Amino acid sequence: MAIKVQRDSVLGIVFFGGLLLLLWGTFQLADFSFGPKPSIDVAFPDARGVKRGDNVFVLGTKFGVVESVDYLPNRKLPIHMKLTLAGDLTFKADYAIEIADASLLGGKQISISPGKSTDSNEKPLIGKAPPHPLKALGDLFSGEDDKKSLGKMLQNFGDLAEDLLTGKGTIGGAIGSARTAFERVGAAAEEVRIAVADARKGTGNLGWVVKKAGDFLASADDVAKAVRSGEGLASRLLSNRTLADNVEKSMQNLRTVTDELAAGRGPLGRLLRDPAMEKEIQLIVRNLNEAMTALNEGKGLAQALLHDQSLRDNARSIVSDLRGVANDLELGKGTIGRLIKDETVYLQIERLLNQVSRVIEDQREAAPVSTFFNIFTGAFQ
C-alpha cells in the first residue's frame, strides 16, 4: 500500500511539473506579461497579409508582436495596426517602419528602424508596404505601353547581339579588336614556344644566351672548386690568415691615407684641401698660361728660338762649335785639351806651381829681414 502511494505521489509530481513547464513555455512564446506593455499605432497603405500575432523586429531583433490589424476605409491610409512592444522606443525624424517577408516560405513581419537623427518625431507613425517582387514585375509589364517598351527593348537587344556578331558599332569593334589581340597573343605564344625549343637545342639568340649562361655558371663552378681546393689568390685569402691580415692591414692603411687626404693633412692633402695651396696652384697655372700666351705672341727668347730661323741657325751653329770644342778636348787637342789629356803637361804645371809656392814662401820668410834692413838704412840717409 505504501509503495502504491509513493508511486502515485511521484506520478503526480511529474504531471504537475510538466504542466507548469508547459505553462511557462507558453507564456514565454506568447510574450505573456502580467504588467502593461507599451504599444504604438502605425498607419499603412496596405496590410500585405500581416495578421494579429506576427512578430515585430527592431533593427533585426524581436521586440514585440502585432496586437491588431484594422481596416478604416474613411482614412487616407486605411490600414491601422497596433503594435505591442517589449519596451519603450523613441522614434527619430528619420525613422522607418516596413512590412517585410518573414521567410522565403511565406509569412510577414514588421521591421522598425528608430532612426539616428538628433530630432525626435512628433507626427503620427506611418509605415511602408512595398509590393511583392513578382507582383511589382507583373505590374511593370501589365500596360500596353509597357509591352511595347518591352518589345522594343528585346528588339534592341537583338540588334545589339547582331552587331556584336558582325563586329559593328563600338562594342562590336572592341570585340573584333579583342579577337585580333587574341590572335596576336596566340602568334606571340607560338614564337615563345619556338624560342624555348631553340633554347633547349642551343640554337638561335635565346639558345646562344642560354649557352653562354651555362658556360658562365660552369666557369663559376670551376672557380668555386678551385677556391675549395686551395688554388688561386681567392683561396689563399680565405685560407691563409697571414695573407688575409696583410690585405686587411693594407685596407686600413688605404683608409688612413684617404682620411688624411680628406682632413687636408700632408702635401697631397694640402693640395686637395688647403685654400692657400689652391691659390698657389692657380697662380702657377696663371703664370704658365701667361708664359704660353707670351710665347705664342712672339715675346722672349724662347719664342724667337721657335719662330726666328736665323736665330735658330745661329744657335745651331753655336751648338755645333761647342760640340767641336768638346771633341777637341776629348781628343787632347789644344792647350786645354793637352791640360786635360796629357799627363806630362799636368806634371809640369804641378811642378811649376810647387816652385811658385816655394818662392812665395821664401819671400814671406825674408820679408821681416828686408823690412828691418830698409828701416835701418833709412835712418842714415
CA quadruple 178, 184, 187, 188: dihedral positive or negative? negative
Residue 266: its H or E element: helix 266-273
CA quadruple 206, 211, 217, 219: dihedral positive or negative? negative
As a whole number of angstroms, the distance between CA 197 and CA 189 comes to 12
Output the CA–CA distances (angstroms, integers) from residue 103 to 59, 83, 100, 106, 108, in the order listed: 16, 20, 9, 5, 8
Which residues touch 141 (CB under 8 Å, ≥6 apart)? Answer: 147, 150
Contact 112, 89 (CB under 8 A): yes
Cβ atoms within 10 Å of 163's Cβ, excluding its own: 16
Closest CA to 44 of 18, 72, 22: 72
As a whole number of angstroms, the distance between CA 322 and CA 311 comes to 16
As a whole number of angstroms, the distance between CA 255 and CA 70 comes to 100
Report which DSSP code applies to 92. Answer: B
Q: Using CB atoms within 10 A of its CB, is residue 251 exposed (0-12), middle (13-18) or buried (19+)?
A: exposed
Q: Any idea how long the chain is?
A: 381
Report which DSSP code applies to 71. Answer: E
Residue with cell 518625431: 121
Residue 112: its H or E element: strand 108-113
pLDDT at 293: 74
Encode 202-231: b = buried (16+ Cβ within 10 Å), e = exposed.
Answer: eeeebbeebeeeeeeeeeeeeeeeebeeee
pLDDT at 50: 92
pLDDT at 356: 79
Per residue of the chain (381 residues), give pLDDT as tens: 566 657 777 777 877 788 888 776 665 555 555 567 899 999 999 998 899 999 999 998 999 999 999 999 988 999 999 999 988 889 999 999 999 988 877 789 999 999 998 998 988 999 998 886 666 566 555 555 656 666 667 767 766 666 666 666 666 566 666 667 677 777 777 877 777 777 677 676 766 777 777 777 777 777 666 666 666 666 666 666 776 677 778 888 888 877 776 776 766 666 666 777 777 788 888 888 877 776 666 556 666 666 666 767 777 788 787 787 777 767 767 667 666 666 776 777 777 778 877 777 777 766 665 665 565 555 545
Which residues touch 315 (CB under 8 Å, ≥6 apart)? Answer: 305
Pull the grid cell for residue 356.
Answer: 811658385
